[in-house]
């Protein structure tokens, strides 16, 4: 898409955002979001995470701009770099920390006698979910249980898509941390670690 729409260039919008005009950020977001999503689909760990990665990239770029930094000329090139870097961060994060779904898979697939530990998985997950702040519970409910997109969830929560993406990512991490702090979560994590270290014959 052209960087000069209705006589307002990306450079002008970036300068306005840097000066505190939040509406300018909205124009930049609408102007370049689809491009960012298309790029994210090629670089994301999973294609269905493209919108989340694009929104997170926008959030990072806007934060830099509001702090006085960021692009002085080609906003789209700067954003493309941010999308690629966000995708790389996601890949590294996935390699370092398992998601809640991964934890459940480890429990079910590798500890078939997990019921003998005296803890119910659903109860532990429910307790972990209930312990989260309301904002985290709402975004997880919208994205995970209702299957809504980044934009749909943001609309329901009355926040910007960039903000929703950050909240959603933090909520997932908080849920995992909370789950691992339950008695059952600690036991299953320990059992999974022991099983991985157990020598095979």
Residue 149: CATH number of its domain:
1.10.10.10
CA–CA gap between residue 89 and residue 95 (Å, rounded):
10
Q: Does residue 88 sit in the same domain as residue 113?
A: no
Residue 53 CA: distances (Å) to CA of 40, 44, 150, 180: 6, 7, 10, 26
* Residue 129 CA, distance from chain mean position: 17
Q: Does residue 81 sit in the same domain as residue 21?
A: yes
What's residue 92's pLDDT?
Answer: 62
What's residue 112's pLDDT?
Answer: 35
Alpha helices in 19-141 (DSSP H): 22-43, 50-66, 75-96, 100-110, 121-130, 134-140
Q: Does residue 106 sit in the same domain as residue 188?
A: yes
What's residue 33's pLDDT?
Answer: 92
Q: Does residue 104 sit in the same domain as residue 191?
A: yes
What's residue 129's pLDDT?
Answer: 78
Are the CB atoms for 100 and 175 separated by under 8 Å?
A: yes
Residue owning tokens 């980044």: 150
What's residue 183's pLDDT?
Answer: 64
Look at residues 73, 96, 119 and tell me which one is the last residue of a structural domain. Answer: 96
What's residue 93's pLDDT?
Answer: 58
Q: Does residue 41 sit in the same domain as residue 53?
A: yes
What's residue 187's pLDDT?
Answer: 56
CA–CA gap between residue 139 and residue 129 (Å, rounded):
11
Strand 4-5, strand 8-9: pairing: antiparallel
Are the CB atoms for 148 and 138 separated by under 8 Å?
A: no
Residue 44's CB: how many other CB atoms inside 10 A?
A: 21
User: What CATH number did the domain enclosing 27 receive?
Assistant: 1.10.1740.10
Q: Does residue 164 sit in the same domain as residue 147?
A: yes
Kindly list the averaged pLDDT for each block of 10 residues, start to end, along the chain of length 201: 65 93 92 92 75 89 91 89 83 54 44 40 69 87 81 90 88 80 61 49 45
Q: Does residue 81 sit in the same domain as residue 162?
A: no
Q: What is the pTM of this model?
A: 0.49
Look at residues 44, 61, 96 and tell me which one is the last residue of a structural domain. Answer: 96
Q: Does residue 92 sit in the same domain as residue 104?
A: no
Name the domain count of the chain: 2
Residue 192's domain comprises 100-197
């Amino acid at each position: 898409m052209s960087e000069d729409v209705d006589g307002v260039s990306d450079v002008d919008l970036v300068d306005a955002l840097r000066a505190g005009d939040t509406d300018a950020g909205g124009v930049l977001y609408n102007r370049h979001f689809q491009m960012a999503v298309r790029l994210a689909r090629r670089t994301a760990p999973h294609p269905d995470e493209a919108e989340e990665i694009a929104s997170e990239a926008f959030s990072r770029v806007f934060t830099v701009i509001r702090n006085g930094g960021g692009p002085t000329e080609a906003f789209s090139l700067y954003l493309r770099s941010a999308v690629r870097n966000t995708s790389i961060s996601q890949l590294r994060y996935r390699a370092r920390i398992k998601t809640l779904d991964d934890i459940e898979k480890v429990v079910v697939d590798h500890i078939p006698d997990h019921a003998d530990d005296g803890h119910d998985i659903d109860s532990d997950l429910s307790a972990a979910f209930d312990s989260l702040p309301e904002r985290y519970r709402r975004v997880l409910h919208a994205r995970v249980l209702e299957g809504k997109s980044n934009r749909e969830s943001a609309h329901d929560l009355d926040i910007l898509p960039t903000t929703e993406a950050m909240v959603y990512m933090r909520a997932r991490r908080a849920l995992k941390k909370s789950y691992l702090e339950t008695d059952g979560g600690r036991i299953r994590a320990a059992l999974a670690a022991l099983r991985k270290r157990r020598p095979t014959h």
